């Protein structure tokens, strides 16, 4: 019996109530949002529940939304995969933009260790309880978090590229 979206939704709302919300099917992947402070409990539940069995953490990454209200400026996205029923899910959680922090899941999945370090390196998200939260791809001396949207790729003062003629703004060029 294949694992259906409704099974996942029912099981999660039954256990976690209002901490899990915004269930929807996005293209080929079932997605939902969770409250940031419940993330470890939910991931652990998804992994260990005998029905859900999401045994594999496919991916973990961050997204920066500087235009959102301050409590929803960073998103951590978890992709999980159930290999028994071949079902993928995407879990999103929004965290505060001024003091981004969330509990680590590196004690649940060993693979989360470097993925969280990468997210810390690029977005400055503090993963509480991470065994070795330090920069991974950038050098240790760096002080900024380069994937945040406030860091432009190119020098903003360039005059040789006038994108206004293509209807572009600073943000999308």
Report the residue from 150, 154, 155, 160 that binds other proteins according to the rule CB under 8 A. 154
Give the shortest CB-14-to-other proteins separation in angstroms: 26
Considering the complex, state which of residue 29 and residue 70 has its C-beta at the smaller distance from other proteins: 29
Q: How far apart are CA 148 and CA 122, in angstroms?
A: 7
For the chain, report the end-to-end CA distance as a whole number of angstroms.
48
User: What is the footprint of other proteins within residues 124-143 (CB under 8 A)?
Assistant: 135-139
Considering the complex, state which of residue 15 and residue 68 has its C-beta at the smaller distance from other proteins: 68
Cβ of 145: how many Cβ atoms within 10 Å?
20
Report the residue from 19, 23, 45, 114 that binds other proteins according to the rule CB under 8 A. 114
How many amino acids of this chain bind other proteins (CB under 8 A)?
42
Report the residue from 14, 22, 27, 156 that binds other proteins according to the rule CB under 8 A. 27
Considering the complex, state which of residue 9 and residue 58 has its C-beta at the smaller distance from other proteins: 58
User: What is the footprint of other proteins within residues 31-60 (CB under 8 A)?
Assistant: 31, 55-59
The first and second tokens of residue 56, run together, are 């594999």
Kindly write down the DSSP assignment for every residue of 8-77, as one continuous string. Answer: HHHHHHHHHGGGEEEEEEETTEEEEEE-GGGHHHHHHHHHH-TTT---EEEEEEEEE-TTS-GGGSEEEE
Residue 140 Cα to chain centre, angstroms: 23
Residue 33: C-alpha distances to residues 16, 92, 161 (Å): 12, 5, 40
Considering the complex, state which of residue 14 and residue 172 has its C-beta at the smaller distance from other proteins: 172
Phi, psi of 145 (to 5 degrees): -115, 95
Binding-site ranges for other proteins (CB under 8 A): 26-29, 31, 55-59, 61, 63-64, 77, 79, 83, 86, 88, 90, 109-111, 113-115, 118, 122, 135-139, 146-147, 151, 153-154, 166, 168, 171-173
């Amino acid at each position: 019996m294949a694992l259906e979206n409704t099974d996942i939704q029912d099981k999660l709302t039954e256990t976690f109530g209002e901490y899990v919300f915004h269930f929807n099917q996005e293209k080929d992947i079932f997605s939902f949002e969770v409250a940031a402070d419940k993330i470890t409990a939910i991931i652990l539940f998804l992994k260990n529940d005998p029905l859900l069995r999401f045994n594999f953490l496919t991916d973990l990454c961050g997204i920066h939304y500087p235009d959102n209200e301050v409590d929803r400026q960073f998103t951590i996205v978890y992709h999980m995969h159930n290999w028994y029923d071949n079902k993928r899910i995407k879990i999103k959680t929004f965290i505060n933009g001024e003091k981004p922090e969330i509990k680590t899941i590196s004690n649940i999945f060993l693979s989360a260790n470097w993925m969280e370090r990468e997210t810390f390196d690029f977005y400055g998200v503090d993963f509480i309880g991470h065994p070795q939260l330090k920069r991974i791809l950038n050098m240790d001396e760096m002080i900024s978090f380069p994937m945040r949207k406030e860091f432009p790729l190119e020098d903003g003062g360039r005059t040789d590229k006038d994108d206004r003629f293509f209807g572009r703004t600073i943000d999308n060029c």
